[in-house]
Structure 1
Amino acid sequence: MQHPTNDYFKEVFHTHYPSVRRKLVALVRDEAIAEDLAQEVFLRLYRNPPEEPKVIGAWLHRVLTRIGYDYLNKQARERKLQEKQEQYMQTTEQLSASNEQTFIRQLDQEEVRDWLDQLSERDRSALLLRYSGYSYAEIAEQLQVNPPLVGTLLNRATAKLKRHAEARTHT
């Protein structure tokens, strides 16, 4: 078929547009997008019409199907890309947050070590054993003290540690 005349094109457009639009709405499930895609179908018809005017309905159906699926594939690719980007951003945020947390934890540990160094050997050992999961009986055995004294020893060591921490943070 040669390039369609304006009258012929208008006739084909008015005849087939409603069904082309309806099929596209059913395919892409969005009326505004279907309108745009229907315009693309008729633009292709105007630019590159089929050889046989009798097959215009089938030609339109084939083109609208191809355009609709191309649109859906593009949307799926964009969704996957967006999901990958979001996943990358979350991973990056988690890594940077965990790096920051690790650094802060290291600073805190260094600070606590400094405070522990201010304590006597017995107080430092008692606290380290307790926070390592040792029971009072095990701590008493390690420090060679009577088991009833372990609670008092831990309370005094904790109070001294707090005082050292407060003194360091206020200076």
Structure 2
Amino acid sequence: MKIPESEIFQNIFYEHYPIVRRKLVALIRDEAAADDLAQDVFLRLYRNPPDDPAALGAWLHRVLTRIGYDYMTKKARERRLQDKQELFLGSEAAPPTGEDVMLRKLDQEDVREWLDELPERDRQVLLLKYSGYSYAEIAGELGVKAPVVGTLLNRATTRLRKTATKSQPQID
């Protein structure tokens, strides 16, 4: 099919544009993008029309489908890239300020003092738990049965809270 006259092309455009646009909206679910993609479909028609004028509808459908899927693939790739960038940039924490470092050290010193006031078994069970040991590993280290570890942790945590509360300055 040769489209020598712009009037012929305009007639084809006005006749098929609403259908092409509607199919693209249904495919990609974005009306603004569908408008742009429909223009691309007709630009391809203008530059490289099908050989058989009777196959125009099928040709338009094939081209709009290909353009729509290419668009969705591009958008998916952009989303994945954006997600990776957000993940990368979000995981990069700003370096701690001097104040943050000092506060963390003071907190650690307070916790050490509170742990020193606890009985040895309570201190051990808490240190093992917060060092990443499992209940089974803690039981092995302390020489107790695994079901007892939960009770020991609960009691040690309660004692640590009481110790921390006692040593807090009272504000009047």
TM-score computed with the length of structure 2 as normaliser? 0.59
Unaligned runs of 5+ in 2: 123-162
Match of 1:144 in 2: none
Higher-helix-fraction structure: 1
Give 1:105 shift.
5.7
Give 1:103 shift.
4.0
The yes-or-no answer on 1:132 pairing with 2:116 is: yes
Query: Aligned partners of 1:32 and 1:42: how far apart in 2?
Result: 16
In 1, are the aligned partners of 2:3 and 2:9 still within 8 Å (CA)? no
Provide the secondary structure at the position in 1 that maps to 2:51: coil
Query: Aligned partners of 2:44 and 2:68: how far apart in 1?
Result: 14
Quote the RMSD (CA, aligned, Å): 3.2
Alignment of 1:2-151 (within 5 A): 2-93=2-93, 96=94, 103-104=101-102, 108=106, 128=113, 130-132=114-116, 134-135=118-119
Give 1:31 shift.
1.4
**Rg larger for:** 1
Report the CA distance shift for 1:133/1:50 in structure 2 as closer, same or farther (over 3 A): farther
* 1:59-79 deviation per Cα after TM superposition (whole angstroms, max 9, x unaligned): 100000011111111111111
Give the number of aligned pairs: 123
Q: Percent identity?
A: 49
